[in-house]
Amino acid sequence: MHVTVHYLAQIKRAAGCGSEIIETLPGTLRDFLRTLADRHDSSFRAMLLDNSGEPRKSLLFFVGDEHAEPARQLQDGDAIMILAPMAGG
């Protein structure tokens, strides 16, 4: 199946692109994020996953227009947005 990933904020810099289309096996968002981490360098992986391989709780994930938890099942053609919120004052 194919999914489109859109990166925003710091994760976009780490990915080196704003979006990409990725062919992946059916599974959960968590499964996909682990696959995605394997496709990029260690700095991207460290930003995306914690030391136990779980998606970082500081990141926001959306599938389509809906906030998505890591256990969500993905469908062919889904559009995923990954956002690393910024703090500032």
Residue 64 in domain: yes
Sign of dihedral through CA atoms 28, 43, 81, 54?
Answer: positive
Tokens linked to 24? 């992946």
The residue among 84, 85, 66, 78 whose CA lies nearest residue 28 is 78
Name the pTM for this structure: 0.91
As beta bridge partners, residue 20 has: 5
pLDDT (tens digit, 0 to 9) for every residue of the chain, 89 residues total? 999 999 998 899 999 999 999 999 999 999 999 999 999 999 999 999 999 999 999 999 999 999 999 999 999 999 999 998 765 55
**Would you say residue 27 lies in a domain?**
yes
Which CATH number does the domain housing residue 69 bear? 3.10.20.30
Q: In this structure, is residue 89 part of a structural domain?
A: no
Alpha carbon of residue 28 to chain centroid: 11
- Helix ranges (DSSP H) in 9-62: 10-15, 29-39, 42-48
- The total of structural domains in the chain comes to 1
